[in-house]
Chain A
């Protein structure tokens, strides 16, 4: 059972906005930056967002991230079919001395 939680699924039609939540505790999301990864089965996971809301080079600005307290969120605006993937939030946990991944959210377009 993950101490970081995410909804198992999210969906939207092309062009819509979808938001994925990520909830943790004071020792992880409450204390450390949140990162988001996009994963398509059979391929390498990809860093989508780091340090709460920073986009790596090449990631469209349709993706945005934020963190407040012990929660974080990833928003995808202008949803496209290519956005169908699993999305994971992750953060370092100061108490466990471990990186924690959320259970993942499957986005369906």
Chain B
């Protein structure tokens, strides 16, 4: 099982970044996918989920209206479009997946760092 996040980096407040999580080794099409972040010195924060096939999308209050999750089942990849970035979005961003129908995340990536600073 492999999940590899990419697309992190340095952005200025108000700018955009697009994260990708490329996966292999599990049935991506049967997994809900999620983004979870950890700000410096803070705990884990769930920010978004996308269902395996029906297309249900969920967002945490802190990112709703600014971030958009999507997936490409043909590429076994999940994306996070992050717009109107703020300093408080600075964090390690992890992608995580869980079998559709369960409510747990049993596969995780190692994360990509996003820094928002002027």
Contacts and interface: CB of A to CB of B under 8 A. Distances in A.
Interface in A60-109: 86, 88, 90-92, 96-104
B36 A86 contact: no
Given A97-B58, A98-B58, A99-B34, A47 B106 contact: yes
Contacts of A96: 61
A41 to B, nearest CB: 9
Given A35-B104, A50-B102, A44 B44 contact: no
Contacts of B105: 35, 37, 45, 47
A-B pairs, top 4 by smallest CB distance, nearest first, are: A99-B46, A50-B104, A104-B43, A35-B104
13 contacts: A32-B103, A33-B104, A45-B44, A50-B102, A51-B102, A51-B103, A86-B43, A90-B104, A91-B103, A92-B103, A96-B61, A98-B60, A100-B46
Nearest to B3: A44
Given A45-B108, A99-B49, A33 B44 contact: no
Query: Which of B45, B96, B104, B109 has the largest count of A CB atoms less than 10 A from its CB?
Result: B104
B43 A103 contact: yes
Contact of B94 (A45, A86, A90): A45
Contact of A104 (B44, B94, B110): B44
B109 A44 contact: yes
A22 B111 CA distance: 26
Nearest to B34: A99
A51 to B, nearest CB: 7
